[in-house]
Chains A and B, each alone.
Chain A
């Protein structure tokens, strides 16, 4: 009995503040947000939102802009998750080789991750529209001209900056995983006469599987939620062709001052991201091996 009380006190003391904070900044705003999604509201705090039931959700079904944004985001996510993980993992393999410049390279590859998304978008906008254009003009190669001027180059432009920014971060995660592989396993494989590919396939991949789970989760969630880079690089243009989900929601709220509809989109968005990532983590977890 004494013990229970003691535990309760400790629990309240240590977890209490966190729970209060979590309720205040996550749970309650989320619930309020869900409430707003059933209203018509123009964002003025001094006006009471008008309750309109499921109208916003029905409107989303018919919203072509939202559907296009979803398809574009899905396409973008598939491409960038594959690209970022492949490149991140390759970089990790590269810098864990005993080369003299390994440490230097780690720093270089990680650096883009330190630049904020908005700034990054503007920097690359300058590169695509200024530097590429100039290279194109000098050399006459049309490949370099008109970047971000159509949906196709806009898409690849976004993929490029996302990969450039995130692969260094994943590299760090993969490095940690690679260094955790017991040397004895690899040595045993050497003695058994396994070649490089066999070792990668049967020892390295299974051993870094937990890192894959977390990296896939991070890239999936981040790509799906991408906002800053989208806003500053293309702002959804041209012709709304590169508008991703988060930007679509932002514009619904701030440009069209349709806060209720935007909130409904945000709820759908939340459910989408949550379910997709949960499935991904479940599938990946099954592939992990226990030591």
Chain B
């Protein structure tokens, strides 16, 4: 008991000194609070900011991470409403930029903005001003198990169209027992972001052409409806049942990483999860295209998940420090090394030409290959009406998977909901 009390007192004293010390130092420092969404890099990003603070003693950087897509938006609103506004935060695309417009600093004059690839800034540009700097590029498609395809006698290089994909899927299905497969696909029907955002994007991206077209569109037509239905049905018919109960971790960890399915629709961010389960398998995977009949077939959707932005209501010193820090992350030697080798990013910027600055995981390499060949389509789902992709289309897809409604009914609801939302805007 005595020891316990002693411990408590020492602990309390330490706490007091820690707090006291903090406030004394803060007076001369410029504090930059960062509120960011990428959970995968939280730890590494913190490390990098420590390094920055060592060389820039008058800057203090505090990073807070809240991840998981739509949660971030709500948390950011709460954070802003609390009066404790961050200096650096993230926006996802035109809708966000529009919503937060009067809080955003024009970042066009930052050196980094000039190094961004063509079009990389467009999702965060309004009236010719770049309000956001892209995080990274990400891509998704059908991640496949190279070993299994080889065993089945399939050459992945020949799968470049819907026809060849369907043939391959049927072939794998016929050899299920031999290959030890439960099904050909793991289809995550439970995750409405996988279906309602990512899947739908494959068709809608080719319909709209860019995230801005989607954002400005008064209506959605589903021009490639037939091709979209075909590819969706393929994933359902040859997907491991029950599809509506399959979530991300079942899909990637329990099924794909354990070799129980041959392919699954996911993005390069899944590399970490797969590597965590089976390191050998992780080196032996790649992307197959997501072919929509009637549209460009041999394509991967590649896009910018989020942008860095700076809060206009911060002090001038904070804004200056924030710009310098973001610039440093993507242009200094240390920063570049972290961006590539620790964050596993595919930077949408020039200046990453060196051999040691090339992405190392096979999924990222495949994305680069598709990009070089010009076989990518943009992400347009950040231009969908708020909540439409996940909560309207994704939910309707679940009903379709369950057999409650037809494909046409899915589209009907989706179309009218889109038009309705745009009318309110």
Contact = CB atoms under 8 A, between A and B. Distances in A.
Interface of A: 42-46, 129-130, 133, 145-150, 236-241, 251, 254-257
Contact of A237 (B77, B99, B244, B254): B244
Contact of B247 (A43, A129, A147, A251): A129
B373 interface: no
B99 to A, nearest CB: 7
Nearest to A137: B182
A257 B242 contact: no
A255 B391 contact: yes
A149 B242 contact: yes
Nearest to A45: B81
A239 B81 CA distance: 32
A125 B399 CA distance: 20
A255 B395 CA distance: 13
A153 to B, nearest CB: 9
18 contacts: A43-B81, A44-B77, A45-B81, A130-B254, A133-B245, A145-B242, A146-B242, A147-B245, A149-B243, A149-B402, A237-B190, A238-B190, A238-B244, A238-B398, A238-B402, A239-B398, A255-B391, A257-B387
B390 A255 contact: yes
Query: Most chain-A Cβ atoms within 10 A of its Cβ — which of B190, B245, B399?
Result: B245
B189 A238 contact: yes
B266 interface: no
A147 B102 CA distance: 47
A130 B253 CA distance: 12
B341 interface: no
Contacts of A146: 241-242, 245
Contact of A239 (B70, B241, B242, B395): B395
Given A146-B242, A237-B192, A239-B244, 19 more contacts: A43-B81, A44-B77, A44-B80, A129-B245, A130-B254, A133-B245, A149-B242, A150-B242, A150-B244, A237-B398, A238-B189, A238-B190, A238-B244, A238-B245, A238-B401, A240-B399, A254-B73, A255-B387, A257-B386
- 4 residue pairs, one from A and one from B, having the closest CB atoms: A149-B242, A146-B242, A149-B245, A239-B399
B250 interface: yes
B391 A256 contact: yes
Q: Main SS of chain B's interface residues?
A: helix
A239 B396 contact: yes
Nearest to A236: B395
Given A44-B99, A237-B398, A149 B387 contact: no
Contacts of A148: 245
Contacts of A147: 245
A146 to B, nearest CB: 4
Contacts of A257: 73, 386-387
B23 interface: no
Interface string B399-412: 10110100000000
Contacts of B244: 149-150, 237-239
A16 B402 CA distance: 57
B247 A45 contact: no
Contacts of B399: 238-241
B74 interface: yes
A238 B404 CA distance: 11
Nearest to A252: B387
B247 to A, nearest CB: 7
Contacts of A241: 399
Given A147-B245, A149-B244, A255 B190 contact: no
A147 B241 CA distance: 11
Given A42-B99, A239-B398, A240-B395, A129 B250 contact: yes
Nearest to A134: B254
Interface in B66-88: 70, 73-74, 77, 80-81
B192 A251 contact: no
A254 B190 contact: no
Contacts of A130: 254
A143 to B, nearest CB: 13
A240 B401 CA distance: 13
